[in-house]
Structure 1
Amino acid sequence: MAKISAFEDLEVWKEAVRIGVEIYRLADLSPLKHDYKSRDQIIGAAISISNNIAEGFEYNNNKVFIKYLHYAKGSAGEVRSQLAILVAAGRVNNEDYEKLKSDLSGLSSKIKSFINYLKAFNQKKK
């Protein structure tokens, strides 16, 4: 893997941003756009995915970065959970739910693979 010099070059960050933008789009649709608490909560959780990736990267320390990648992965799970509740409550349609659930599961998997890569890299350095 080539050395990455900015978090904006990370595929997991780009994917997290894309999903965050999609959550914003979804939050602007009725009836979710009028459910301010749920809207704010899901947007906050969605943008925390990319924000945690960026923040962890900026520490320039793989151990700390891995911790923040775990936080990002946890936020992806939180968004999936919120979406499940919102679809059951009729605030999000099933098509959007299934697409975002798949995207978030895929991102979680990519983040986990990246964590494993960084852990292996750290072991090789010892």
Structure 2
Amino acid sequence: MPWSRYGGTGAGRRERGGRRGRARRRRGAGVAGRTLRVLAASTRRPAFWLLAGVFAVCGASTNGLLWNHFTPAAHDHGIPATSASALLAVVGVCNVAGTVAAGRLTDRVDARRVLAACFGLRALTLVALPLL
């Protein structure tokens, strides 16, 4: 409870939790232990591995293809390196805007549907890329 909100310093307040609170603090692995238990339970579900695989492909295609090779590839096709880098900066700004928009959309629509739509659109664009 934020005691300063009420004008006091909190010097005269009673400590809550007693012995049980001190025992929890001594254990120290409360949050870390729970995190590891949840992670271990999650790895037993197929949905976890499906998402992990999709995120791995997503990260590999973005980091491996776009960020590392875009500017040299554009330069090889006659686009000046500064223009290619500026275009890559625009992609980064659109990435931030899309992340914020997706976050707002998940407040209104089921997050699984938004994620499926994003990855479906991403897959279609990666398939269509060689056709351009």
TM-score (norm 2): 0.35
Pick the structure with greater CA Rg: 2
Q: Bigger relative contact order, structure 1 or 2, given CA contacts below 8 A and separation 6+?
A: 1
